[in-house]
Chain A
Amino acid sequence: MSIYLDHNATTPVDPSVTAAMARASTEVFGNPSSLHSLGQKARLALHEARSQVARILKAEPEDILFTASGSEADNLAISGVLGRSDKPFSRVVTTGLEHPAVLLTCDAWSERGFEIIRVMPRACGVVAPEDFEKALAGQPALVSVMLASNETGAIQKVADIAAISHAHGCIVHCDAVQAVGKIDVDVQALGVDLLAVSAHKLYGPKGIGALYVRPGTRLSPILYGGGQERALRPGTEAVPLAVGFGLACELSQTRLQEDAARISELRAHLETRALAELPEVRINAGEAPRLPGTSSLALRGALGDSLMMALDLRGIAVSTGSACHAARGEAPSALEAMGVPPEWSRGTVRISLGRTTSREDIDRALEALLEARKRLRTGGRT
């Protein structure tokens, strides 16, 4: 029996979502642009899906653009603003925690002469709004801030940063891919102009994401085609995927409080045991408000890769904390950005819990971790 503890990477598709997608594939195969009744049926299914995605964000259906992934939504948000013919901004202020979809899109604009400023998080894993304000220096910019770190689960103060940024004439994008479905995400309360979501992180299918666009926020397209999605994301709509995404959002919203409470408790159990039983262990961003199911465990002097493999050989799927980017001339990982020393960041495993995780899964993962830890550093690393 294998144990899946890598829900931040992706989640298993909910069986009812799979069933809905299968039905949509056969019953609603029409092209939503077609004028006949099959087309109309597809158009309605798409609209229903759009409404479901909108509801989990407290947005309106017309504010939602479907994309092929969360990454594409991030790309469209950033390049869609910076690429506008009226050139609203010449700089971007973002954080040192962002996902590559944001990070590398910014890098690409940097090569075209745009100024990119990365605000580093404090040691707790959270970017301080006052640090962000300093970086803005009273000038307008495109702002991009993630809602929750995929690596540590640390929840960022997006509402505060958005308020400060708007006071300086900024447009604010938020990568909420890791957060939606795990915590309440309300685009009104956050006050953001753009927000990226992905279906496969909330028990929906891979291959579909969405971008929330606040009314009045103008974007230029990054793809050209037949005018779908307000000509901002052309290409025949993936109706079955959208149907699955919509249902996944609805299910997540319905059970959010209950899931969050149960998963938080399981994580507390994991971390209490880890801290008590493992030598030289600490929890990255452990002091910060975090997503309920994410635990970034740093085992000093260990190698995350080895821990991941040792657990996998026992049928337990976890992820490594991505370390050592900087040594390779890449942008620092979230752990490096937080200032986690290499001997801790290298030995980090990310354990991310989900709906199907049981207390027994956690105990078994912990036993495996204890056993793997005993072996580590018995041989010298040449």
Chain B
Amino acid sequence: MSTRTIIAAMSGGVDSSVAAGLLVEAGHRVIGATLSMKPCAEEGEYSWCCGKMAETAAAQVACRLGIAHYVLDVAEDFETHVLRHCWDEYAAGRTPSPCLVCNQRIKLGRLLALADDLGADAVATGHYARLAPPDERGPVLRRGVDLPKDQSYFLSQVRRHQLERAAFPLGELTKPQVRDLARRMGFHNAERKESQDACFSHEQGFAEGLRRRFAAEVSQGEIRTADGRVVGTHQGLHRYTVGQRKGLGIALGERAYVVRLDTASNAVVLSDRIEDLETPGLEASDLNWIVPTPEVFHAQVQIRYRSKPVEAEVHRLPDKGARVVFETPQKAVTKGQALAVYEGDRVIGGGWIDKA
């Protein structure tokens, strides 16, 4: 591989540190960049992933690797495109997927713009996904070899032109291998614990944290059963998601699930029948096709991060839409979540679930 100038996103964690280290070892000219997403005044309220300690951790690793390292302030974009967007989604009775938006707009979006400014060729992150040189159809984005750690779902919104300038050096590795590499590279953070979803943690929960942040009023409403019986009061639809069983504060037989968030009547709809949770398909919008696809095709689709891919038929609709028909009905298909479309382990595209 020829020597390239690559901007490595460095969060201060083990994964992105090793990703940067591997690029340095491969002989590339690497520039480390840590994204600062948090307005300082909120210290203590939120614990975003990219606080000062994380910046320092990344700087220590960069120093060890002998590469330049900068902190890029993206707080404004993060506020608008991730936090504000997520609150709008919750307010509309949907359950947003912040990481996908952040990866596409902030991590790759901002860092590729920086790459342009600095004359760099590519941007690398520590995601567990494989990106092979493009074939005749386009970028070859596949699941990471370490399937339990695979993050390709979170990359399904990344645009084709962005993938053409991306690198995911950890795709062929397992987490234990990455830790071994971190130890061999002498990183101080080699033994650090996982910090998944730390970006969006808040003591009151992400959604409630956002409500307070944007000073939205609590919109109380009914909790009712699928057959119309009112069984309680909720403190805002944003606190619920389809399929949720815990924390309902309602005794309804042995098992009750949220089956729907009805925005028209501002109601949380429960059922104790698992069939009420199942749907034969979904409709999605804003499809990001990484490679060209036919109008109708068979694929494996994934409807949330930790769910198994399921066999389905995908029908493309006008205006970047798609209808998906599952081979067998699926539970808890949730509006606002991302749909990722796979062909085996290759990511074909993705969109946003609008209708279950």
Contact = CB atoms under 8 A, between A and B. Distances in A.
A376 to B, nearest CB: 5
Contacts of B119: 310, 375
Contacts of A379: 112-113, 115-116
Interface string B91-117: 000000000000001000110111111
Contacts of B31: 309, 313
Interface residues of A, number: 23
B76 A312 contact: no
A229 interface: no
B101 to A, nearest CB: 12
Interface stretch (B45-53, B65-73, B173-181): B65-73
Interface stretch (A45-53, A287-295, A327-335): A327-335
Given A305-B73, A328-B39, A382-B105, A375 B118 contact: yes
Nearest to A313: B68
A381 to B, nearest CB: 5
B41 interface: yes
Interface in A296-311: 302-303, 305-307, 309-310
Q: Which of A305, A379, A381, A382 has the most CB of B within 10 A?
A: A382
Interface in B37-85: 39, 41, 68, 70, 72-73, 75-76, 79
Contact of B114 (A306, A324, A328, A329): A306
A204 B114 CA distance: 36
A185 interface: no
B110 to A, nearest CB: 8
B7 to A, nearest CB: 10
Q: Which of B41, B76, B79 has the most CB of A within 10 A?
A: B76
A310 B39 contact: no
Given A328-B75, A328-B76, A328-B79, A372 B68 contact: no
Nearest to B41: A330
B209 to A, nearest CB: 16
Contact of A305 (B72, B79, B116): B72
Contacts of B72: 305
A378 interface: yes
Nearest to B106: A382
A321 to B, nearest CB: 13
Contacts of A327: 76, 79
Nearest to A376: B117
Contacts of A307: 117
A378 B116 contact: yes
A328 B37 CA distance: 11
Nearest to A310: B118
B113 A382 contact: yes
Contacts of B112: 379, 382
Interface in A324-382: 324, 327-330, 372, 375-382
A328 B118 CA distance: 26
Nearest to B115: A379
A110 B73 CA distance: 28
Nearest to B117: A306
B40 to A, nearest CB: 8
B117 A372 contact: yes
Given A309-B114, A309-B118, A375-B118, A330 B109 contact: no
Nearest to B108: A382
Interface in B158-193: 159
A17 B31 CA distance: 36
Q: Which of A372, A379, A380 has the most CB of B within 10 A?
A: A379
Given A382-B105, A382-B109, A329 B41 contact: yes
A317 to B, nearest CB: 12
Nearest to A306: B117
A376 B118 CA distance: 8
Nearest to A371: B119
B117 A312 contact: no
Contacts of B114: 303, 305-306, 309
Contacts of A302: 117
Nearest to B7: A309
B31 to A, nearest CB: 7
A309 B31 CA distance: 10
Interface string B12-53: 000000000000000000010000000101000000000000
Contacts of B115: 379
5 contacts: A310-B118, A324-B76, A330-B39, A375-B119, A380-B113
Q: What 10 A-B pairs have minimum CB-CB distances, sorted nearest first?
A: A379-B116, A306-B117, A382-B109, A328-B39, A381-B113, A327-B76, A309-B70, A375-B119, A378-B116, A376-B117
Given A324-B76, A379-B112, A382-B112, 17 more contacts: A303-B114, A306-B114, A309-B70, A309-B117, A312-B68, A313-B31, A313-B68, A313-B118, A328-B39, A328-B75, A372-B117, A375-B117, A375-B118, A379-B113, A379-B116, A382-B113, A382-B159
